[in-house]
Amino acid sequence: MLDLRLIFANITRWKILSAITVLTVVVAFFFFLLLLSLDRVFNAGVSLDKAKRLVVANEIAIMQPLPLAYEQRIQDVDGVSAVSRNVFFGAFYQEPTQGLMAIATEPRSFLELIPEITFTSDAEKERWFNDPATVAVGRDMAEKYEWNVGDLVPLYSFLYQRDDGGSNWTFRIAAIYDTEAEGSNTNSMLLHYSYLDHERIHGKQTVGWYSVRIKDPREAERVAGEIDSLFSNSHYETRTATEEMFAQELMRQVGDFGLIVRMAMIAVFFTLALVTANTMMHSVNERVNEFATLKALGASDGRIFWSVIAEGIVVIAFGAALGVAVTYVVIPMIADWSVVLESIRFEWPDLWWVAAAVVLTGVVTSLAPALQAWRVNTGNDLGRAA
């Protein structure tokens, strides 16, 4: 039977080395869980079945434009109840690191499409409707930058230049909005498409994508097919999908995220294995005489072998537990901070993957040191120790 007190005593014998190892394990399992969560966001399966809203984008790439003339043709499709044009403004506030989710749209059609957006007062909403040079700001974004209604907000757009050749845009905040949708954040900004289209040099009379609300969610697949068939064999063919699928496609512009996740996990656990194995090997080398003594007192080779394996698993398990705690705290912060990753979640079933990784990593990193301890010869090594 394994002596847990002896195992913990051996682990804490070299405190600095053990602390470094545990810290490495914490970081490794934090990234392990974070990458699992990101992979779920990027690759979650989404179907058209019972979708309430659809997105119509360019078939070639999401960032390619569509003609403004498509709007009325989409509106005329049987089963469509509302259409809203959208353009990603692509801007930052003060510093390039402070990028904003700013969307140019037509306010009235946008709110018809997304009724869960609410305003502090009707007066603010009407002020935004009636002044094209103003913006509506989500409450999360307003609180983040300490903005209030009436403030002038200077933005730099890395996508659109003004008619005067500059890339600096200034908007007055007309309204601050909230959302009643569960799990959504309001870290975003809405501006007038008409104002952007009038003021920009390039891209006039084009749209980034169309948002479409359908009358019957059960008809989503049929409506999507009819929309795409309207523009087949044209210069701007379309691909209609759900909002979730659209978000995934937008994130996948960075590349094959699944491959990125797998490569990152391999790198993380390769580093973890090296550090942990080095710690375990050092521990065993320093205790050869102790293993010889234990064997002389009657401890079997198997007991020595499994005690070393247990040490490795305990070290990994302790660091993994801390890594889970860190991830549980950090992932909600990422969801609040990032509009693109707002759907990222910590899921408890991931703990099964953690448990499997703990056992596998613990055994792999402890196997060589355990075999070395198992091979300790009582006569030779005890005599050398004496």
Same domain? For 194 and 280 the reply is: no
pLDDT digits (tens, 9 = 90+) for 118-129: 998 899 999 999
3-state secondary structure 18-43: HHHHHHHHHHHHHHHHHHHHHHHHHH
Same domain? For 188 and 292 the reply is: no
Same domain? For 214 and 297 the reply is: no
Query: So what's the pLDDT on residue 344?
Result: 76
Question: Is pLDDT of 259 > 70?
Answer: no
What distance separates the 2 farthest-apart alpha carbons in the chain?
A: 93
Same domain? For 174 and 80 the reply is: yes
pLDDT digits (tens, 9 = 90+) for 235-249: 999 988 877 667 656
333 in any annotated domain: yes
Give the mean pLDDT of 184-206.
Answer: 90
Query: So what's the pLDDT on residue 132?
Result: 95
Contact 66, 57 (CB under 8 A): yes
- Say which residue, 337 or 369, is predicted with more confidence: 369
Give the mean pLDDT of 214-223.
Answer: 87
Q: Which tokens sit at 248?
A: 């995934």
Q: Which residues pair with 242 in a beta bridge?
A: 54
Same domain? For 265 and 348 the reply is: yes
Question: Is pLDDT of 83 > 80?
Answer: yes
50 in any annotated domain: no
Q: Which residues pair with 179 in a beta bridge?
A: 117
Same domain? For 72 and 189 the reply is: yes
217 in any annotated domain: yes
Domain end marker among 235, 266, 282: 235
Query: So what's the pLDDT on residue 147?
Result: 94
Same domain? For 108 and 218 the reply is: yes
Query: So what's the pLDDT on residue 51?
Result: 65
For 348, the domain range is: 4-44+256-385
**Of residues 97, 209, 246, 206, the one with CA closest to residue 158:** 97
Question: Is pLDDT of 200 > 50?
Answer: yes
pLDDT digits (tens, 9 = 90+) for 178-187: 988 765 678 8
Q: What is the mean pLDDT of the chain?
A: 82
Same domain? For 226 and 77 the reply is: yes
Same domain? For 190 and 301 the reply is: no
Confidence of residue 385 (pLDDT cuts 50, 70, 90): very low
What is the total count of domains within the chain? 2
Same domain? For 185 and 260 the reply is: no
Query: So what's the pLDDT on residue 12?
Result: 64
pLDDT above 70 covers a percentage of the chain that reads 83
Question: Is pLDDT of 340 > 70?
Answer: no
83 in any annotated domain: yes
- Say which residue, 327 or 61, is predicted with more confidence: 327
206 in any annotated domain: yes
Q: Which tokens sit at 380?
A: 């030779």
